[in-house]
Amino acid sequence: MAVAGKRIVFFTTLVLLWQGIVLLGIWPESMIPSPLSVANEIYAGFKDMTLIWDIVASFRHLLIGFAFSLIIGTLLGVMLAKVKALDETLGSMILALQSVPSIVWVPLAIIWFGFGEASIIFVVIIGGTFVMTMNMRIGIKNVPPLYLNAARTMGSKGLDLFLKVVVPAAIPHAVTGVKLSWAFSWRALMAAELLSSGPGLGYTLAYASDFNNMSLVIGIIIIIGTIGAIVDQVIFQRIENNVLKRWGLDERNP
Amino acid sequence: MYLKINNVSKTFHNEKDQALTVFQDIDLDINEGEFVSLLGPSGCGKSTLLSIIAGLAQPSSGSIFLENAEVKGPGPDKSMVFQEAALFPWLTVSENIRFPLRKSLNKKDQQDVAADYLQMVHLSNFANHYPHELSGGMQQRVSIARALAMDAKLLLMDEPFGALDEQTRTVLQDELEKIWLSAKKTIIFVTHSIRESIKLADRIIIMGARPGTIISDIKVDLPRPRLQKDMADLEEELLTILKGEIQKVMKEELRYGGSR
Ligand SMILES: Nc1ncnc2c1ncn2[C@@H]1O[C@H](COP(=O)(O)OP(=O)(O)OP(=O)(O)O)[C@@H](O)[C@H]1O
Ligand SMILES: [Mg+2]
């Protein structure tokens, strides 16, 4: 647990440094609020449930959008891997779409779906789908030929070969796809919520900014970062590590 | 004729479209129930020939007939032990062995067969482990068990015991001999070990290199189980043939190296 210790020391120092800067009094509280007022703001938000509802709303958007991303991404990825003509055409387009930042889709979503939840979910889906697609595609295309040959000599072919060998062999790439898709969805979610009519963490962030509530702005940024990091490290990193180990792809233990 | 290899050649083309002819005009008739071992210097195309017989690769010319039907693709009638273990990492050891049995046997029989063959390769205690928890030699034993469990009439084995220690190898050689004697399988067995081929095979095919051809086809008429003292003369003879071939390959590789 040496790592945990180092982190505690690091973050404590960071907060102390922050408090020190506030005490110097160079900038007004409305630009750099003190750690205590940020903590108070977060506490108040949790106490009157507003932040809780924001988090619940954000997660609702995220989970719906993320689920669609995974389903659409998986299907598209399999199709690209299996149909060469599609890969050469649609594949190149998806590659281009993948490099478009999610926030670019927000104005378009607002015109199509208004300021409500549909817009947010749309942007989240766009944000998470393509990276899942590309990882699924690679996973299916890069199944080691040795597995395929071994399975064929054991009488497996067609759909059985696909479901029992190709799909499981593609799982390490798929898991990486899910992890990245989560990260992209989370970022897209915030971009979309900033311009929405709430509720949601992004909406409240924009709202707090409009009312010059700097403590709440920083509080929400901290919440967003913390949730993102926890889900990424605790859930997805762990799943990915377990899968890589089982599949014999763990670099620390080859 | 049980297995007929008819004038088979294999040429690979690389990206620059240079042709590499691995072997040429391989003609071989193998009888049902024969134990044939395939010897030859590294790179002469033993694995390539085996995968063509298995139906995994197409010959560039020529054809292969198994029981009078042309071999068009792989299937469970020809089981293969690959040079590498080729286990599925997402399945346990026992599930790996049951993989080829899924269609033909019910659950209970699959379990029994898997348990039998695991016992044969001395890995009963590892039935529920995953391949990454096993050493390379243990993984290879599982893949041997898997191929034997399929109970195909034709068994293709590519250096199956290469990664094993001397003792385990001897045990498995004896087991394989027993299975072959009782189950009347036809076995094509690639090996680097002259002694192993003499101990097990009825017939030893020696391949030369660049381009590969069959340079000797030797019958082994020693009583089984074979004893070291009976094997010595033949061993000497094969060693002489192979030495010449290996020197030829090394000279050629030096020349390639020098011209680059
Ligand atoms: N897919 C391929 N593409 C191009 N060349 C290949 C391919 N497979 C094999 N070769 C070449 O064919 C030759 C024979 O390979 P093969 O693996 O059959 O040899 P081998 O006799 O089994 O050798 P070893 O005893 O080392 O296993 C080698 O020179 C190799 O480079
Ligand atoms: Mg080989």
Q: What's the pLDDT score for residue B241? A: 84
pLDDT at A253 over 80: no
Provide the residue type at B158 as one letter: D
pLDDT averaged over chain B? 89
Confidence of residue A10 (pLDDT cuts 50, 70, 90): very high
Give how far Cα B244 sits from Cα of A128, B211, B238, Å: 62, 15, 10
Of the partner residues A146, A154, A164, the one whose CB lies closest to the CB of residue B76: A154
List domains and CATH numbers for chain A: 34-246 (1.10.3720.10)
- Both tokens of A182, joined, read 């989560």
Q: What's the pLDDT score for residue A205? A: 94
Cβ distance A246 to B132 less than 8 Å, yes or no, reads yes
Helix/strand/coil for A168: helix
- Asked if the ipTM is above 0.90, the reply is no
Q: CA B13, CA B34: separation in Å to the nearest integer? A: 34
Q: What's the pLDDT score for residue B92? A: 95
pLDDT at A254 over 60: no
Q: What is the biggest distance separating any 2 CA atoms in chain B, rounded to whole angstroms?
A: 61
Q: CA A206, CA A198: separation in Å to the nearest integer? A: 10
CB-side exposure of A11: number of CA atoms within 13 Å?
Answer: 8
Query: Are B58 and B70 in contact, with CB atoms under 8 Å apart?
Result: no
Identify the CA nearest to A174 among candidates A60, A85, A76. A76
| CB of B42 shorter than 6 A to ligand 1 | yes
Query: Are B102 and B164 in contact, with CB atoms under 8 Å apart?
Result: no
Provide the residue type at A31 as one letter: M
Q: CA B205, CA B197: separation in Å to the nearest integer? A: 10
Identify the CA nearest to B164 among candidates B201, B139, B147. B139
Q: What's the pLDDT score for residue B258? A: 52
Q: Please report the atom of ligand 1 found closest to the CA of residue B48.
A: 18
CB-side exposure of A2: number of CA atoms within 13 Å?
Answer: 0
Query: Are A79 and A162 in contact, with CB atoms under 8 Å apart?
Result: no
User: Which is it for strands B203-207 and B154-158: parallel, antiparallel or unpaired?
Assistant: unpaired
Q: CA A75, CA A67: separation in Å to the nearest integer? A: 12
pLDDT at B32 over 50: yes
Provide the residue type at A217 as one letter: V
Confidence of residue A128 (pLDDT cuts 50, 70, 90): very high
User: Within a 10 A sphere around the Cβ of A12, how many other Cβ atoms?
Assistant: 10
The DSSP 8-state label assigned to residue B76 in this structure reads: T
Q: What's the pLDDT score for residue A2? A: 85
Q: CA B204, CA B30: separation in Å to the nearest integer? A: 11
Q: CA B80, CA A150: separation in Å to the nearest integer? A: 8
Q: What's the pLDDT score for residue A92? A: 93
Mean pLDDT, to the nearest integer, of B171-179?
A: 89
- Both tokens of B30, joined, read 């193998």
Answering whether pTM is above 0.90, one says no
Among A124-138, A160-174, B114-128, B231-245, whose mean pLDDT is lowest?
B231-245
pLDDT at A252 over 60: no
The DSSP 8-state label assigned to residue B197 in this structure reads: H
B58, B88, B91: best mutation site toward chain A, by most A Cβ within 10 Å?
Answer: B88
A244 contact partners, CB below 8 Å, separation of at least 6: A172, A250, A251
B36 contact partners, CB below 8 Å, separation of at least 6: B30, B186, B187, B188, B189, B201, B202, B203, B204, B205
User: Which is it for strands B61-66 and B3-13: parallel, antiparallel or unpaired?
Assistant: antiparallel
- The CA-CA-CA angle for residues B86, A245, B83, to 5°, reads 15
Beta bridge partners of B20: B12
Q: What's the pLDDT score for residue B237? A: 87
Chain B positions touching A171 (Cβ under 8 A) are 90
Chain B positions touching A245 (Cβ under 8 A) are 132
Rounding to the nearest 10 degrees, give the CA dihedral for residues A176, A177, A181, A183.
Answer: 20
Q: CA B104, CA A142: separation in Å to the nearest integer? A: 30
pLDDT averaged over chain A? 92
Q: How far is CA A213 from the centre of its chain?
A: 27
Give the gap in angstroms from C-alpha B100 to the nearest C-alpha of chain A: 5
pLDDT digits (tens, 9 = 90+) for B39-48: 988 888 999 9
Exposure b/e, A194-226, CB count within 10 A at least 16 = b: bbbebbbbbbbbbbbeeeebbbbbbbbeebbee
| CB of B37 shorter than 6 A to ligand 1 | no
Cβ distance B54 to A246 less than 8 Å, yes or no, reads no
Tokens 């399999």 map to which residue?
A: A78
Give the gap in angstroms from C-alpha A246 to the nearest C-alpha of chain B: 6
Among A242-251, B117-126, B156-165, whose mean pLDDT is lowest?
A242-251
pLDDT at B126 over 90: yes
Query: Are A63 and A69 in contact, with CB atoms under 8 Å apart?
Result: no
Q: What's the pLDDT score for residue A123? A: 96
pLDDT digits (tens, 9 = 90+) for B233-260: 888 888 888 887 777 777 777 776 654 4
Ligand 1 atom 3 nearest Cα: B12
Q: What's the pLDDT score for residue B260? A: 46
Helix/strand/coil for B183: helix
Provide the residue type at A45 as one letter: G
DSSP string for B206-241: EE-SSSB-EEEEEE--PPSSP-HHHHHHHHHHHHHH
Q: CA B47, CA B30: separation in Å to the nearest integer? A: 17
The DSSP 8-state label assigned to residue B72 in this structure reads: -
- Distance from residue B48's CA to the centre of ligand 1 (Å): 6
Query: Which residues 155-174 of A have a C-beta within 8 angstroms of B?
Result: 155-156, 164-165, 168-169, 171
